[in-house]
Structure 1
Amino acid sequence: MRWGRTYFAVQAIAGAAWWFAVFASPPVRDVTLGGLNPILVAAVDIPLFVGASALAALGVRGAAVVSTAWTGIVAITLAGYATVTTEAGWGVVIMAAATAGSAFALCLVALGRIPTEWMIRGPFAFRPAAARSAAASHVVSTFSQIAVFWGLFLVVIPLIAAVLERRWAIALQFPAFTVPLGVAVLMAASALGIWSAIVMSTLGDGTPLPSAMPNSLVIAGPYRWVRNPMAVSGIVQGVAVGLILSSWLVLVYAVAGSLLWNYAIRPHEEADLEQRFGAEFRRYRDAVRCWLPGAPVSPSRP
């Protein structure tokens, strides 16, 4: 709870400073509010954003809800306004970041923690694959998953982000070499992802899907060097796509995805693996690093 209240205190101070800059500096007003009337916006935003954040910092939980809800409404409204007018793009970025921060802080204030277990419910809950299914069926399921996930997370979402980045006039200039560099990195990361998927689906009696996880602990192929090669592959692919599209917003998206996976998903996944494979997984976890490749371990015994 203390960290949540601290966040709202910082947000209240930052919000007050931003409003001071809006009225004192026309350039700040232009890039964050565009043609919106700052007096009318301030009349609503100062009490609901700055004031509510200050009350939340003092421990008023209702104020934390109000501040978070209002921040989300402002972010969505500004995004629509910026998309139509090409104005206030940096205001969208600021309020989107504030919305994410407020949501996390609200969880800390209201629950005392961030309930990451909500992310692994329903179709995303961890379940082992049907035992003794044909390896070919696991391979087909795995590559079906790859087609859907790569299409959504590496094509559709990055393209939308890159288009909005330019529409909102917040694009930055990238060096010309970033495009061929991105292509090379994307090919290497994709090869790692495909290799990892094949090893998992043929040797693990399952798939990388949460709803059809492997029934055997896989310590072969790239899994001998790093515990989560598919996650490494996906994050590096996201960075590569950002370089290809010359989009800093896609790069931020890739980094945010890595943090989300590492701090919200990975602990639950590894707890599930430890529960199912016990000491075998613990030895593997102790011998092989999560992100950075190390010396390979034996396929039969970590």
Structure 2
Amino acid sequence: MLTREAARAYFALQAVAGAAWWVAVFAVPAVREATLGGLDPALMAVFDLPLFVGASALAATGLRWAVWIAAPWTALVAGGMALYATGTERAGWGALLMIAATIGSAAAALLVLSGRIPSERMLVGPFAFRAAPSTTARGRVGRTGAQIVVFWGLFLIVFPLAIVAIEQRWGLHLDAPPAARVSGAVLLVAASALGIWSALAMSLRGEGTPLPAAMPHRLVVSGPYRYVRNPMALAGIAQGVAVGLMLGSWLVVLYALAGSLFWNRIVRPLEEADLQARFGAEFAAYRDRVACWIPRPRRSVRPPAG
């Protein structure tokens, strides 16, 4: 649960993990090389032990001023490590770990300081919930097709290729078996078919598009929406994993899975609140009847005895 207690527990875990990492840095040369490269560990420790490990430990007790030290310092180190890894092709694992710590620290800091993550502030521009303008079915399908080209191009081509380039530059690439690439291609075809089916159902039956800025006028409960409430999101996650398998990139697979967690925990509650506000009892009944991710087995109706 996203609570202050969970955020404080995160900072406690970060402090313990940071202390253990510093022990490994001085005790295991391979860890030092993989995470610090040619940087002086003694000099780094002078700053990082109090500002990262110590401040995280204090933030775990609920001290707000410690949060203002731990989170910005983590982001600063992550940025510096990313630049260092990109420029030298060393310490890529250190850069990756600090980027992950930055994301966790930022979320935990928001929870400790304000008690919540203001996810609704992301709903701006093309991500703000608005009903689609009235147009013909051909117009809606054309707009949906344009959205697919743009978003699939960005999230399934541009971003993954950038991640692969970073993965190679930072020395994080791991060899994948040939079967993974074949499996990825099969999964990509199936997931893309599901995505297109879902988009057409949204355009033709819902009189809208998948984009939040052009939401449907009718609640779509047919097509793939008979089986799961979020077939478009399911298709997108599977597509991301498929692209990662095809590229032989574990980081792209992780990117897709992380996106699924972000969508499920941050975006989906906002979207469902909007659907509840617009469709009321109709959406509530649909939500209770149809699963979010995994289709529920259909129950057979037995005729009354006698």
TM bracket (short chain): over 0.9
Aligned to 1:247: 249
Q: How many residues align?
A: 296
Checking the alignment, whether the CA contact within 8 Å between 1:225 and 1:295 is kept in structure 2 is: no
Aligned to 1:23: 26
Which of 205, 211, 221 is the matching residue for 2:223?
221
What is the letter of the counterpart of residue 124 of structure 1?
F
CA distance in 1, matches of 2:297, 2:122: 33
- How far apart are residue 43 of structure 1 and its match? 1.7
**What aligned pairs does 1:50-89 form with structure 2 within 5 A after superposition?**
50-89=53-92
Checking the alignment, whether the CA contact within 8 Å between 1:179 and 1:244 is kept in structure 2 is: yes
CA distance in 1, matches of 2:281, 2:196: 28
Q: Answer yes or no: is 1:211 the counterpart of 2:213.
A: yes
- How far apart are residue 236 of structure 1 and its match? 0.2
Aligned to 1:300: none
Structure 1: tracts of 5 or more residues without a match: 298-302
Aligned to 2:147: 145
Which of 64, 89, 94 is the matching residue for 1:91?
94
CA distance in 2, matches of 1:268, 1:57: 29
Checking the alignment, whether the CA contact within 8 Å between 1:72 and 1:99 is kept in structure 2 is: yes
Residues 141-181 of structure 1: CA deviation (Å, up to 9, x unaligned): 11111111101111111111112112111112211111111
- How far apart are residue 295 of structure 1 and its match? 5.4
CA RMSD of aligned residues (A): 1.5
Aligned to 2:303: none
**What aligned pairs does 1:145-184 form with structure 2 within 5 A after superposition?**
145-184=147-186
CA distance in 2, matches of 1:54, 1:259: 26
Identity over aligned residues, as a percent?
A: 59
Checking the alignment, whether the CA contact within 8 Å between 2:219 and 2:279 is kept in structure 1 is: yes
- How far apart are residue 123 of structure 1 and its match? 3.3
Checking the alignment, whether the CA contact within 8 Å between 1:225 and 1:296 is kept in structure 2 is: no
- How far apart are residue 214 of structure 1 and its match? 0.3
Residues 229-268 of structure 1: CA deviation (Å, up to 9, x unaligned): 1111000000000100111101111111111111111111
Instruction: Report SS of the residue matched to 1:106.
Output: helix
- After TM superposition, the score normalised by the length of structure 1 is 0.94
**What aligned pairs does 1:102-117 form with structure 2 within 5 A after superposition?**
102-117=105-120
Structure 2: tracts of 5 or more residues without a match: 300-306
Which of 269, 276, 279 is the matching residue for 2:278?
276
Q: Answer yes or no: is 1:44 the counterpart of 2:39.
A: no
